[in-house]
Amino acid sequence: MVKYLFLATVLLLINQAVTAQKVDNVNTSRKTLSAVYTNEIIKIDGVLDEKAWGTAFVAKDFVQIDPDQDKPARFATVVKVLYDKDNLYFGVICYDPLGKKGVRVKDLKRDFDVANNDVFGIGIDAFNDKRNNITFATNPYGAQKDYLSFDAQLYDDNWNGLWQVHTKITDSGWVAEFAIPWKTLRYKQAASAQSWGINFYRQRRFSNEVSAWSPYPRAFSFNRMDFAGQVTDLNPPKPSSNIQVNPYTLPSYDKTSDLAASASHFKVKAGGEFKWAVNPNSILSGTVNTDFAQADADLEVNNLTRFSVLFPEHRQFFLENASLFSPGLNGITSNTGSMNIYPFFSRTIGLSETGGPLPIDGGARFVHLSPNTNYGAMAIRQGAFDGTPQTYFAVARFSENLSGKDRIGGLITMKSVAGTGQSNGYTNVAGSIDGLFRFDDRNFLNTMLINSYDGKDDHKGMAGYFQYQYQTNPISVYLAESVVTKNYENETGFVSRTDVISTSPGFITNLRGDWLPFKKLIRAFQPDATAEFYHQASTGKFIESSVVIYPFWVLFHSGGFFGYSITPNYQYLQEQFSPLGINIEKGEYKYARSSFYAGSDPSKVLSYTIQYDIGPYFNGHLNTLTTAISYTPIPHIALSGALTRNQFIKVGIAETSTTVSLYNLQGVFSLNPRLQLNSIVQYNTQNKSTVFNMRLSWEFKSLSYVYVIFNQGNFSSLQGQALQNGIFKVSYLKQF
């Protein structure tokens, strides 16, 4: 009954939202800006003092996206565009009456957190197809952020291009000067001047105002290029061969000790990667003796659910063009429940089930991206190591952009495990088809069907989903339905759980207006609700549900928030469940939990978030405190800490009362955006483990690095192990 009542509510909200479409209409007339050619040498120093800048046309009159949609920006921004035979240049002035006091920066690392900083960004749609773009962004201290966007749905957030930016903070605001090489961009060859889609956005974090040159609805992303303007009169050079070679050398020292003995060894490793832009649309990449020593460490998680935890990919080779090879249902970012279904997940390659590294002998990847057709293939050989046999991985992807903004595609994956003296080899294969269908600017449907064949057990299985979403400024409504059969086994993919049918409806509101109390403090009132209903796929048995109702959620102008939710839960455990080592008997459980949330302005020197969950938990009670605090006295020093504390009270078969805590401390010390020391300490009381990671990185040349890395792990006396690892790595990028 609860499921059908909730679904009926969601359908009613969709109907009401459709009738209110004009609420978020914006002026969508396409602005234009002419680029000017120059022979003058442009020095990238954050000072627009070359004569050529005085001849450039000006993009101004930015429009608010947030808080007051479609009203003139309260803080002026000016953009100019120049180009020569080598680069495309942007000169930007972000005016601020508070000068240096108005600047907010908390992060100097590459791909910094946009939410906490003043930001200026450029979105370039070089094929002018109104679907895809490359974004280049910076903050007032010159940190760089870049990524690829496809249909504002799929993102390559960790794509790194060769480009420069330099900034200056002045008494009237801050200035940014960009130089983007033509070789970094992808564009078509033309005999005459070209027009590209382009948009600029600015975030002034002090007042939490977002503005754009060409406005777009607040409910949408800046990367919706159908709302972008145009830069005209561009005559870029003919696309040429673009080859990048990135070799590395890595001496390392490892020491392992336990209660009985210790061992240590020193080794030197070498390898590298290359990238060849065969043409403006196609890139061939290769890797040999691949190493990811400098990748970010995984943050530990104390998992209280029956879902598998989805750890993010940190390794650069697999992050390149990840969006092409990783279509799927992302329950973390899409607000469609907790289900995650990916036909291909790169962390199945080169990592053990516990996250430890496995050797990658080499691999190759070919990618073709164009306004109409996208396809690619990747093959990797994983070496034998410590009982793990040699394994080959392959994935192939094809997608076609249809008329309008629709897309269909398919993906095939294969894992082939070599036989050993103790076991036979086998091959695991999965194939999928998927589609994205936009009915209009606000309605879209995302769907996928996957079939798997497990050569190890001769099992065939299926997984699939559809995901509908309706977006407007005042309300977003969604419905996701997914199924994973009992025999589904895709060893190159990821699913949260098998043998399940999941239904996840929900809505999110963003209510604003003069009726709000404390208008100088409160920006929006955002009550919403999300739900998840699970049936066992093999039997049809109803096994689980949770309905999270947020009757009160307030968003402050500063970006802080305060809210409350209540969550009725139903659990039918068909087998014993053991969260954090506490054994819970199978059976039927009904309980409701309450949660309180609060957070401060994340851009301030001192900021925090806190969540406190209380109430029944299966046959007992559980109080969970999750909190994080950040202290950034200056942008060059960023300190943060996090705590997750689970207090169990008479839970499980033994009516266990215990407390399990997970601590996390991080420090980032930056001389500038190119030289940084990053350290992290994690301590888990469940297994009394302490993990320490320190990484010094120096970008001595664009995308060329020196790393000094130290890792240490100390575990309980029951395990009796201590691990130490020291690494010195040099990678050098050369572009031909």
**How many helices (H) and strands (E) in the chain?**
4, 45
- Whether 702 shows a pLDDT value over 70: the answer reads yes
- Whether 189 shows a pLDDT value over 90: the answer reads no
In this structure, the strands spanning 329-330 and 282-290 are: unpaired
pLDDT, one tens digit per residue, over 42-87 is 999 999 999 999 999 999 999 999 999 999 999 999 999 999 999 9
pLDDT, one tens digit per residue, over 596-613 is 999 999 999 999 999 999
- Give burial (CB, 10 Å; 0-12/13-18/19+) of 395: buried
Only one residue has tokens 């897309």, namely: 407
pLDDT at position 510 is: 94
pLDDT at position 404 is: 67
Q: How much is the pTM?
A: 0.87
Q: All domains of the chain, ordered by start, with CATH?
A: 31-234 (2.60.40.1190), 307-499 (no CATH)
pLDDT, one tens digit per residue, over 394-408 is 999 999 988 767 899
Q: Looking at 73-77, 156-160, 196-200, 663-667, which range is the least confident one?
A: 156-160
**Reduced to 3 states, what is the DSSP secondary structure of residue 101?**
helix
| Token reading at 39 | 């022979």
When pLDDT is averaged across residues 560-567 and rounded to a whole number, the result is: 97
- Whether 334 shows a pLDDT value over 80: the answer reads no
In this structure, are residues 213 and 225 in contact, taking their beta carbons and an 8 Å threshold? no
CA dihedral 367, 369, 373, 377 (to 10 degrees): 10
Q: What residues does 595 pair with on adjacent strands? A: 565, 613
Only one residue has tokens 């190159």, namely: 492
Distance CA 663, CA 656 (A): 22
Q: Which of 94, 80, 77, 95 is nearest to 42 (CA)?
A: 80
pLDDT, one tens digit per residue, over 192-215 is 889 999 999 999 999 999 999 999
In this structure, the strands spanning 32-34 and 229-234 are: parallel
